[in-house]
Amino acid sequence: MPVTTTRRWVRRILRGEPTAVEGRHLADRRTDDVVVEQPLSLALQTPQGAQVLVTTMRTPGHDLELAAGWLVSETGMRDRHQITAMGLFTANRDDELAVDTVRIALGDQTPAPAARGFVTTSSCGVCSAANLPGFHHHDLPGQTPMFSVTSGSLFAVVHQLTQQQPVFQRTGGVHAAALATSDGTVLMAREDIGRHNAADKVVGWALLEDRLPLTDHLLVMSSRISYEIVQKALQAGCAGIVAVSAASSLAIDVAREHGLFLAGMVRPDTANVYSREDLLVTQ
């Protein structure tokens, strides 16, 4: 089983508590659960050897899904059979700086993604992309003519997502993504220190389960909605995104351009709809 959490010592303080008492700080030290952050390299296997495409900081677990979802975002992959082989090679755990690697072999007719120049951090999935203009390309109908989202389903999917975050409940240090139907049913959820990794794990699960495109499905995020999250949803053919946090200006603009339903700042009784409000049915 992947190790997703570990423990580190902390000093717990209270507001207004005296801190100058000699020896007191030693008694206030305790261990606390923290999320594991480790590098993962995605490498393309070729007859000449393995070429590293990108190294990302992630929380271990569902690494093959992460790799598959990254391929969807980078190449527009739709068919899992375009991946002829994929495996996780685990680094020596005695070396904390060692890098786990997912090696990927693609079919002869499958375009290979371009290699990135440096490490992608846990905060940004497109930081090392060479070119943002045209980075998003969308040729999938995300919604069928009868698709709609009820206001009740917005609140339901976010509530369900909060119930499926065991690592967050222990550490408070990860994002979560989920796949849901428009009636408010969450099908699956994944956690990761990087919001883009969490989204990739969800999309990768869909690819490996032969569920792409995700027409009439919602990508649910615990994080803010940035451009990269919209781009991943479009590449997967999602109908929309629902998130706990807010959306950026570029995320809203791209969602509106492509007709993606977009809602954020979802709280128990309020939400903001940024794009395709015509798809919302209040109840």
Q: Which candidate, 160, 11, 3, places its Cα nearest to that of 90?
A: 3
- Quote the CA–CA distance of 8 and 150 in Å, as a whole number: 43
User: Six-digit token pair at 114?
Assistant: 């371009």
Q: How far is CA 100 from the centre of its chain?
A: 19
* Whether 246 contacts 274, CB under 8 Å: no
Exactly one of 50, 115, 124, 188 is catalytic; name it.
Answer: 124
* Whether 87 contacts 42, CB under 8 Å: no
Q: What's the order of all strands across the beta sheet hosting 49-58?
A: 49-58, 38-46, 100-106, 83-89
- Quote the CA–CA distance of 150 and 170 in Å, as a whole number: 32
Q: For this structure, is 238 an active site residue?
A: no
DSSP count for the chain of H helices, then E strands: 7, 14
Q: Which candidate, 177, 141, 254, places its Cα nearest to that of 275?
A: 254
- Quote the CA–CA distance of 255 and 265 in Å, as a whole number: 16
Active site residues: 124
